[in-house]
Amino acid sequence: MPAPFPAELRNQDLTEIPGAGRTIALTFDAGANAAGLPKILSALSAKGVAATFFLTGNWAANNPDGVRQIVSAGHRVGNHSMTHPGFTGLSDAEIVAQVRRAEEAILAAGADPRPLFRFPFGERDARTISAVNDLGYAAVRWSVDTLGWKGTSGGVTAGIVSDRIMAALQPGGIVLMHIGSNPDDGTTLDADALPQVIDGVRAAGYGFATLDALLGR
């Protein structure tokens, strides 16, 4: 079992890494397809950056090779529920099932998501945060959403993705990006923008960390 998360992270849905200085965390949610993963892993490898990937259990079960590639490249994995439902409408028992089933599926694919959790849609309240805490997970939100998931059909471009991140740069910031393609236009704007993002963040004097920085390790 991994070490429990620090007590000071309880009852929070964290939007930044406290005390991180000029460091940010790139995070990627995976709940749809894996279309952007090769480009994302290639860019992270080429630039020497480690990131954190929040996986649904369904995604892990459907993409075991992808999970192995993420882990073998030295990235961190977190829990993003089994089937990506909104949590505030779930019963306590359904929350337990969503978190534990995802944990089992991710472990079966070769990664350990504990103790990092991200709520689907960012939908949470005091009850649901407490529930995932009781299951051994710290809840992690974000400080900026790139909106790359909206795709070109939603009026977004790779340039807009990069600009949103740069405009929101802050010490300990947590960037939300996505692995999957837009279902309407097939674009993977977060993956497309990633090399430019990494270069721009470094040029602004920032470095990168995985969300293990929250855990003191």
pLDDT tens, 120-134? Answer: 999 999 999 999 999
For the question of residue 75 being annotated catalytic, the response is no
Q: Helix or strand or coil: residue 23? A: strand
The two tokens of residue 186 are 């097939």
Angle at 116 between CA 173 and CA 141, to 5 degrees: 40
CB 141 within 8 A of CB 129: no
> What's the pLDDT tens digit per position in 160-210?
999 999 999 999 999 999 999 999 999 999 999 999 999 999 999 999 999
- pLDDT for 33-52, tens place per residue? 999 999 999 999 999 999 99
- Exactly one of 13, 29, 190, 192 is catalytic; which is it? 29
What residue spans of the chain are helical by DSSP H?
37-47, 57-62, 64-72, 92-108, 126-134, 158-167, 189-203
For the question of residue 29 being annotated catalytic, the response is yes
Q: Give the tokens for residue 189.
A: 């704007």
Cα(184)–Cα(83) distance, rounded to whole angstroms? 21
pLDDT for 198: 98
CA dist 188 → 88, 118, 158 (Å) = 29, 21, 9
Token couple for 99: 């978190």
Structural element, H or E, at residue 52: strand 52-55
pLDDT at residue 150 tops 90: yes
Task: Name the catalytic one among 75, 80, 84, 178.
Answer: 178
Supply the mean pLDDT for the chain: 97
Place of tokens 């369904």: 58
Encoded tokens for 17: 């890494």
Task: Map residue 173 onto helix, strand or coil.
Answer: strand
